[in-house]
Amino acid sequence: MKNLVHYLVISLMVCLLPHVAYPQTSLQHFVGNPALKHASVGVSVVELESGKSIANHDAEKSLTPASVLKLITTATALETLGENYRYKTKIAMDADDFSRILVLGGGDPTLGSGAFPDNPYIFFINGTEALTESLPKDKEYTILVVDNLFGYDGISPEWTWIDIGNYYAAGAYGISIFDNSYKLVFNTMNRKERPKILRTEPEIKGLTFQNLLTLNETGRDNGYIYGVPFGYEKELRGNIPAGRSEFSIKGDIPDPGRLLGETLGEYLKQAGYQIGAIETTRQDYLSRGNTNGQTPPYRVGNVPFTLASRPLKEIIREVNVESNNHYAEHLIRTIGRHANSDIQTNALTEGIDYTVNYWKNKGIDPTPLTMHDGSGLAPQNTVSARFLTDLLLYMHNQSSVSATFFNSLPKAGQEGTLKYFLRDSRLTGKVSAKSGSIGGVQCYSGYLIDGEKKYAFAVMVNKFSGTRNEVRNAIEQFLLGL
């Protein structure tokens, strides 16, 4: 009898051992992967209900998150502004000058955006129609675009030169239009010459290019546009595919407020109005310096037209599913302006400070977190795997917008930036997460829900020596091993 009991105990231990040890074994295999030999790795996996750690490796180490940082930005925006928050852009008349039309920017990143299936010119169409109902055509009008809500530091000072000027590093301002990006269209049929510039879409008056592009036979787009915000002289470097009658790359609109004003002016001219000077508030803003409280150079009168954005929950889903940098940069500045309405303060800095303090007040240690933007584009951003899983736990278990946040994340193997991650595996559709990748960085963080297994996880790899595909595969195998 004694031997039988002993046998049963040993058998039970053998049966239970794989279930206890396997996550840690999977972690050991992952950390020991040759592709990660010289990498810095941070891993945190916790049970959703209890918060119990399932697997961790250097979970407190601060590492570069790339676009995984968007989890923090979007969670803070939802918590602070609410899932039904809408941006508003208004057309008004100046109460002190009845011949001046005002466009009042509210920081809407979706105005004319290609991310949603709306007519990108609806603001101009409906705005012009509203003005024609009340505005006589017997005099000349001027247009003032009030785009100073976030100030004019539209990019992070920590972004790299190779990114600045390209569409994925577009500036964020009180007025944004067409995702603040334009297409530069080339003809590359002549292999003996540089690509021929055909046009920009939309047309941007005064924009010039120094064309140093070459052609390749690989079919890959390695073309870059270099240039500072509000600068109309751009430099083209890299190479683009040969043999195309039309091929385009995308750049950052240098002054979106001015482009919006000029476009509205063209619509009003077509409607029979005389339009004179078109200006923005930039020069007035820069000349004032730190003088908030002074009377602005206009006074809002009648408001014949207001365009509201889609609700925040749809904007945030676009950020997390498609990793939309431009939207994320607007969100962090919107948070900043919510925290401090003084338009002479730096909206990005205010947003970062508010975000750090917000999660500190929720009991999450902010010391591993360093933010230089809202999108994760700055290589100097840092966060720990533990911070990410703590935030994910809070959003799942305590947040009033838990479902909205969870549903904003793409499902592995099915959509967005995770369309090919874990595809055709048993975790397809069972992982909802954000990916992040820049040079030498590959990260994933989100939720794994597979039957009774319900985890929040963060896997961060920096400075790897293997290929990106090898690192991605290693992360997939680790998650499958959980």
- Give the bridge partners for 196, in sequence order: 187
Q: DSSP class of residue 441?
A: E
Domain boundary assignment for the chain: 23-83+314-481, 88-308
431's enclosing H/E stretch is strand 431-438
473's enclosing H/E stretch is helix 468-481
Distance in angstroms (rounded) separating the CA atoms of residues 368 and 381: 10
Chain centroid to Cα 168, Å, comes to 9
Phi, psi of 461 (to 5 degrees): -125, 125
Chain centroid to Cα 5, Å, comes to 60
How high is the mean pLDDT in each 10-residue block of the chain (482 residues)?
47 44 82 94 97 96 98 98 98 97 98 96 98 95 98 96 92 97 97 97 96 96 95 96 97 97 98 98 85 76 97 98 98 98 96 98 98 98 98 98 98 98 97 96 98 96 95 96 92
Per the CB < 8 A criterion, the answer to whether 280 and 258 are in contact is: yes
- Residue 382's nearest CA partner among 158, 163, 69, 39 is 69
Whole-structure pTM value? 0.93
Instruction: Please name the residue that has the structure tokens 């048993």.
Output: 426
3-state secondary structure 208-262: EEEECCEEECCCCCEEEEECCCCCCEEEEEEEEECCCCCEEEEEECCCHHHHHHH
Look at residue 8 in the predicted model and tell me its pLDDT. 46
Phi, psi of 90 (to 5 degrees): -120, 150
What is the CATH topology of the domain spanning 23-83+314-481? Beta-lactamase (3.40.710)
| Strand 140-146 to 274-280 pairing | parallel
Look at residue 296 in the predicted model and tell me its pLDDT. 85
Instruction: Please name the residue that has the structure tokens 């964020």.
Output: 172
